[in-house]
Structure 1
Amino acid sequence: MITFSLKTLREALAGLRVLKPARQTLPALRCVRVVGNSDSVRLDVATPDEHLLFEGAGHSDDIATGKVLVPWETLDGVARSADAGSDIAIEPFPQPTIRCLSGGAPVILPFRGEPPGDFPAVPTPAGRPPVGLPSAVLASMVEAADCASTESNRYLINGVFVEKHAVVATDGRQLYARNSLDLPLPDEGLVFPLSGVPAVIGKTAGGTLLFTTWKHDTSPVARLASGPWMWTTRLIPGKYLNWRQVIPKPDGYKAHLRISDEDAARLRTVLPRLPGFRDKHSPVCLTIREEGAFLNPPPHLPQVRVELGRSRVIRVPEGEDIGDVQFDANYLLGALRRGFRDLHVCDDVTPVVMRDGHRVNIWTPNRPRVGPPPAKTSATPSAAPAPEPKAADLPDAEPASPQAASTNENKNATGANPAASTTRNESTTMVAIAQPRIGNSTGTPGIVAAAPQKTHVTAAPEAQASGVDAAQQSIQRARDLLRELNGTLGNLQVFIRESVRQQKALERDHETLKKNIRALRTVEV
């Protein structure tokens, strides 16, 4: 008979649950193997690629027969219903049974266990000695796992890459890296599959992990052990991508925003409620100015402005407006959840960077932008003459946006000084001679100095609009209509589901009422 406490059972099942044994296909993998020793008990589960073992206090009367496979549902039900502080006793032979106290009364629960020999053999390191790793690696692996890819056709990045000096994960649009480590690992590094086990081990890990890696049947295998837990897993074979070449240098970033803890906590609540959050890529626009920063949905959605009033703008480009940067709101939420606070922005094409000591989290803006492209903007031309640019410096210079002339008229009507200020409304800013940014046909154009002759703004005639631009506008209008139709259909689907639920509730109430009426008819007055 194998005996252990209910506390030991609950602690073990809380961690073993992450491998989801109840969802496995093989009968033996849907069981928990319980092995009793003279002074301890081991409970472990396995999948085709992973094995997780918990060792706690307990004992077995007969070590030779102290091994049994108990169905997960049976053992989980006992952990939920047994009295607190009671002991659990498992009798493997002749009829497998579990004995416990429930509601103050003894309970004997027979179960049908699988043969212990059907449980898969666990790979062993064949005498290879373990090495020590700092337990902080587990926390980095948990943080990195949120940025790993889950697409089945991107097998190599469906995991967390651990090398001598860094822990890295990416899904192709965002990347997390924790560097400045010094780990005794192979030069080529290791790719761990995505798993919830590192979070389980990290809760009880001490200062050091025992780590071992070897090859089992030509497949790389690793083992991590700490406290009562031991995790054995197959690694993902292959050479990981060169992640260092995609980390941008911080020198070229124009804007720096330090998000306060108060604003970070508020964003975790507000962002999921913004219009468009449930759309593809969850678009949100960030604008950083000297007076402050704010977030808002793309222009084609209902506008809600989220001010970051308690955050601090550390740096913005002087005399230059970088416009808004649109990206996936989930990336910002994930970075804030991982503790990042310093955000760096360059433009609407360059990746957004958040740094925190030895950690970095980067993600790409939405390209192409979700919704209509932003209006082209530039600063008001200065009255002071400037040297005439050479022809080679303006290879693709284009005229200003059609709104420029009307904007100048509005500006002069208000008495603003065009040489000293810049007028800007919610949709447009006056433009001078503008040069498009290389590789970005929809972003904000750059600014080119005016010629020494009299400063003026040339508006491009509408007749010069090309057929391609008209076609793109038509396509965008069709997309907006489809988006509105999709939202209407979604609301209609929710309404239909709610109507069906209410109808079923009314039918149940009607049946109950009929039963009560029939029961009343049988009552003698």
Structure 2
Amino acid sequence: MLTLSIKHWREILRGFRCLKISKTTLPVLTYVRVLINIDTVTVTGTDLGQTVTYQLPRTGEMGIGEFLVPIKDLQAALSRRSAKGILGIEAGPEKGTFHIEEDGSVSRIPFATIDAVEFPEPSPLGEQVGGLVVHAVQQLAPALACASQDPTREILNAVRVEPEAVVATDGWRLFHAEGRTGIVEAFSLPASVFLQEFDTTKPVAVYRNDEHVQSMACVQGPWTYRWQVPVGQFPNWSAVVPKHTDAWQAVTFSKDDLHQLTVNLAKLPSLSGKNAPAGLLLRNGEVALWSGDGEERQFHPLAPLSRPEHGQFWTAFNFGYVHQALNWGATRLCLKDALSPLVLRGENREWVVMPLRMEEPQWPATLEKPRLVTREAPTHPRPVRHVARVAKPVVANVAVSEEEPQQAAEELVAEASRVREALKGIVRDLSALMKLGKDVLRERAGLKKEHAALKRSLKQLREINI
């Protein structure tokens, strides 16, 4: 029996969340294989496109062998359990049992399984072709946020790792971080949430297997992540990155500026949506962020320009892309004109955001800063739990104005009215369908009677002798 703490099991399952098995037609892929050897225990899951393996030393009285465990049943067994509890798994060819020890009590949950022979064998690691240095590992998470999620663009569903750069793009924005990565030949990592499992303080070994179907693997600590190399060529991203941006207009943010900007941005109208449009207006050496339409348009003045100039120009962009870059550490914003990309820079990182095409709005004579209400921090804030695994972006708490509850209530009432009217329409349509159905049934009954009468008439005609 394999026995681990519930906390340990949850850490293992978190690594398997990248597997796309919810719509699989192969039942065996909904299981993880537990293989117990003389010295090690290996837990493996796969969706055929990517394979995740977790290895730990064999301890205690674990019997040598292998068995399959359904992922959903294991998740259900771990649900709402104390992290201090213990879960053991004992399984045979067809049946298995979860043994759970928690708060002094023991419970047993049976589950159904299948023969482990049906589980596909992972491909060999192959030859080591280098290793990602710590700097490159730290760029994987922000690059993952910019990779395409469109399944029809397989080449862009990846984070590109080159000898001197880490790159990702979805066609509308591009992320690249320059610096030595530790590998000699470029390759593409799938845009998988598993990349968030890598410890950003340790390097990652990279392997390539050219036998049969070309595959690659990354190994760090107990984790091994394998994937099939996609067919195709990653686009020439360097041709898209603007050159000589030092001559562009630029805004540099301090830490206080970034915090205040993050708080105030979400207060501007139309920025509640992830892909809501926003823009920048430059006028006589000053720059302001704008959002909203018509009379609702508001402005938030930013830091002074690096090269104050007279005149005016504006640009529009996807707010979600820029906000994400700011959360990942962008501190400098560079812009040239309304048709040029927006460039955001952080420490050893750069984001390129393509502008939106739209008609030039009507600008007011003066730019008034919107009145924003901020919320004071509590006297005794709750301690923040720091996770060393991945440094994720932190979004500041946004204050709520006094008008928002009333506005939210009005919107809720309006939405309820719309739903009620829609339901009335559905009821009317259903009533019409029921009436139509009854008419069809009546016509069908009439046709049956006519058909029976015709049969009787035909029978009578056949009985007449001439």
CA deviations 1:250-304 (Å, max 9, x no partner) are: 3464311012333433444443453333679521121245664321225436122
Match of 2:8 in 1: 8
CA distance in 2, matches of 1:165, 1:292: 36
Amino acid at match of 1:49: G
The CA deviation at 1:98 is 1.9
CA deviations 1:191-247 (Å, max 9, x no partner) are: 222101111123xx5532111123242x43111111111111112222211111121
CA distance in 1, matches of 2:420, 2:247: 49
Match of 2:210 in 1: 215
Distance 1:500 1:71, change over 3 A: farther
CA deviations 1:425-465 (Å, max 9, x no partner) are: 259xxxxxxxxxxxxxxxxxxxxxxxxxxxxxxxxxxxxxx
Match of 2:133 in 1: 134
Q: Is the 8 A contact 2:129 2:184 kept in 1?
A: no
Could you tell me the TM-score, scaled by structure 2's length? 0.72
Q: Is the 8 A contact 1:2 1:59 kept in 2?
A: no
What are structure 2's unaligned runs of at least 5 residues?
368-409, 424-466
Q: Is the 8 A contact 2:133 2:181 kept in 1?
A: no
> Helix, strand or coil for the counterpart of 1:336?
helix
Match of 1:261 in 2: 255
Distance 1:123 1:256, change over 3 A: same
> Helix, strand or coil for the counterpart of 2:18?
helix
CA distance in 1, matches of 2:356, 2:58: 55
Moved more, 284-293 or 232-241: 284-293
Structure 1 residue 321 and structure 2 residue 311: aligned?
yes
Q: 2:355 aligns with which of 365, 386, 411?
A: 365
Distance 1:83 1:291, change over 3 A: same
CA distance in 2, matches of 1:272, 1:25: 43
Match of 2:176 in 1: 177
Taking every aligned residue pair, what percent have the same amino acid on both sides? Answer: 24
CA distance in 2, matches of 1:315, 1:51: 52
Q: Is the 8 A contact 1:322 1:346 kept in 2?
A: no
> Helix, strand or coil for the counterpart of 2:41?
strand
The CA deviation at 1:36 is 2.4
What does residue range 61-100 of structure 1 map to in structure 2 within 5 Å?
61=61, 63-65=63-65, 67-82=66-81, 84-93=83-92, 95-100=95-100
Distance 1:86 1:180, change over 3 A: closer
Q: 2:187 aligns with which of 187, 190, 207?
A: 190
Amino acid at match of 1:366: L
Q: Is the 8 A contact 2:97 2:108 kept in 1?
A: yes
Distance 1:78 1:342, change over 3 A: same
> Helix, strand or coil for the counterpart of 2:233?
coil
Aligned length: 380
CA distance in 1, matches of 2:118, 2:360: 60
What does residue range 475-494 of structure 1 map to in structure 2 within 5 Å?
493=415
Match of 2:35 in 1: 35
CA distance in 2, matches of 1:46, 1:146: 23
> Helix, strand or coil for the counterpart of 2:208?
strand
Match of 2:164 in 1: 165
CA distance in 2, matches of 1:197, 1:123: 18
Match of 1:232 in 2: 226
Q: Is the 8 A contact 2:251 2:305 kept in 1?
A: yes
Q: 1:341 aligns with which of 304, 326, 331?
A: 331
> Helix, strand or coil for the counterpart of 1:153?
coil
CA deviations 1:294-320 (Å, max 9, x no partner) are: 212254361222233xx343223x3x3
Distance 1:91 1:374, change over 3 A: closer
Distance 1:23 1:301, change over 3 A: farther
CA distance in 1, matches of 2:134, 2:153: 29
CA deviations 1:73-92 (Å, max 9, x no partner) are: 22122323555444332222
Match of 1:285 in 2: 279
Q: Is the 8 A contact 2:330 2:347 kept in 1?
A: no
CA distance in 2, matches of 1:125, 1:244: 31
Q: Is the 8 A contact 1:286 1:296 kept in 2?
A: yes
Q: Is the 8 A contact 2:137 2:203 kept in 1?
A: no
| RMSD between aligned residues | 3.2
Distance 1:133 1:493, change over 3 A: same
CA distance in 1, matches of 2:320, 2:37: 48
Match of 1:248 in 2: 242
CA distance in 2, matches of 1:358, 1:161: 16
CA deviations 1:467-525 (Å, max 9, x no partner) are: xxxxxxxxxxxxxxxxxxxxx99995554448999xxxxxxxxxxxxxxxxxxxxxxxx
Amino acid at match of 1:344: C
What does residue range 94-109 of structure 1 map to in structure 2 within 5 Å?
95-109=95-109
Q: Is the 8 A contact 1:5 1:58 kept in 2?
A: no
> Helix, strand or coil for the counterpart of 1:28?
helix
Could you tell me the TM-score, scaled by structure 1's length? 0.65
> Helix, strand or coil for the counterpart of 2:306?
strand
The CA deviation at 1:169 is 1.1
Amino acid at match of 1:283: P
Amino acid at match of 1:305: F
CA distance in 2, matches of 1:273, 1:285: 15
> Helix, strand or coil for the counterpart of 2:298?
coil
The CA deviation at 1:23 is 5.4
Match of 1:416 in 2: none
Amino acid at match of 1:373: E
> Helix, strand or coil for the counterpart of 1:231?
strand
Q: Is the 8 A contact 2:335 2:342 kept in 1?
A: yes
CA distance in 1, matches of 2:189, 2:291: 37
CA distance in 1, matches of 2:101, 2:280: 59
Amino acid at match of 2:197: V
The CA deviation at 1:105 is 2.0
The CA deviation at 1:326 is 1.2
What are structure 1's unaligned runs of at least 5 residues?
377-423, 428-487, 502-525
Amino acid at match of 1:363: V
